[in-house]
């Protein structure tokens, strides 16, 4: 169920490897997250110049609350300190930012930074950047199922609407075309399970802070070489 204009892609990225990037340099893990934000900026700018209509970044999973308090606090602090300036830049670039995930467990300052960033960038139409924060795909599906009633059991569109509600967004949930995971692991970690039904998967050992426009191009080139069959048989000439 495609919901973006033809030829325009939904790229989703599991930004993994910040901690190892830092430890490999003798730095605290939090330095990896700081460097990770710079990579976010590089990749967002690069995506806006490519045929990417939507970019969804996994920035904080619901399971990440289980990390040491100091690390969680530093990621929350990064959001508070970086979102205001970043969203001003995004707004100038015509990039819309929205956040998917739960909103009831953030410190007030984080929630306020999210709401401000969404309000400031809401008219952007060059690229839709979504940050997944306190995000769990399974939890979103459970939440969506509570918005469904018995009549719509086999109706994909009804699930799309219910998921959009669960994500606190009026935008329907477009299929992911390309899912990238950095950092060398090869798993989905509860990210966009519904939307990745037909996603092409691209795994790279590159740590997230080192992922840049060239790395994005490599993933897009590989994606371009894949044959997407959606269960069909493709005739060989």
Q: Report if residue 59 touches ligand FPP, rule: CB under 6 A.
A: yes
Question: Which positions from 216 to 235 touch ligand FPP by CB under 6 A, shown as an x/- string?
Answer: --------------------
R_g over Cα of the chain = 18
Whether 108 is a known active-site residue: answer no
Binding residue (CB under 6 A) for ligand FPP from 52, 54, 75, 162: 75
Q: What is the smallest separation between the CB atom of 57 and ligand FPP, expressed in angstroms? A: 7
Which one is catalytic: 6, 51, 63, 64? 64
Instruction: Identify the DSSP state of 96.
Output: E
Whether 213 is a known active-site residue: answer no
Question: Which positions from 160 to 199 touch ligand FPP by CB under 6 A, shown as an x/- string?
Answer: -----------------------x----------------
Burial 143-162 (b: 16+ CB within 10 A, else e): bbeeeeeeeeeeeeebbbbb
Of 39, 107, 49, 105, nearest in space to 73 by CA: 107
Q: Report if residue 33 touches ligand FPP, rule: CB under 6 A.
A: yes
Of 49, 51, 118, 53, nearest in space to 86 by CA: 118
CA distances from 174 to 29, 43, 193, 224 (A): 33, 20, 12, 19
Binding residues (CB under 6 A) for ligand FPP: these are 15-20, 33, 36-37, 40, 59-60, 64, 75, 78-79, 82-83, 131, 183
């Amino acid at each position: 169920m495609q919901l973006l204009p033809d030829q325009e892609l939904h790229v989703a990225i599991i930004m993994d490897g910040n901690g190892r990037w830092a430890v490999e340099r003798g730095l605290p893990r939090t330095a990896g997250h700081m460097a990770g934000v710079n990579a976010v900026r590089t990749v967002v700018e690069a995506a806006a110049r490519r045929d990417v209509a939507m970019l969804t970044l996994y920035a904080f999973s619901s399971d990440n609350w289980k990390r040491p308090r100091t690390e969680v606090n530093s990621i929350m602090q990064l959001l508070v300190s970086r979102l205001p300036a970043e969203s001003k830049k995004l707004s100038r670039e015509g990039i819309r930012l929205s956040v998917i995930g739960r909103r009831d467990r953030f410190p007030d300052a984080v929630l306020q930074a999210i709401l401000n960033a969404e309000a400031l960038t809401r008219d952007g139409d060059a690229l839709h950047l979504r940050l997944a924060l306190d995000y769990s795909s399974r939890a979103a599906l459970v939440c969506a199922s509570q918005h469904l009633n018995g009549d719509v059991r086999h109706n994909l569109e009804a699930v799309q609407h219910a998921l959009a509600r669960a994500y606190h967004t009026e935008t329907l949930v477009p299929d992911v075309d390309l899912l990238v995971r950095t950092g060398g692991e090869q798993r989905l970690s509860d990210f966009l399970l519904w939307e990745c039904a037909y996603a092409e998967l691209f795994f790279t050992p590159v740590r997230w802070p080192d992922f840049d426009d060239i790395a994005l191009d490599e993933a897009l080139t590989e994606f371009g070489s894949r044959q997407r069959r959606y269960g069909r048989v493709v005739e060989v000439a």
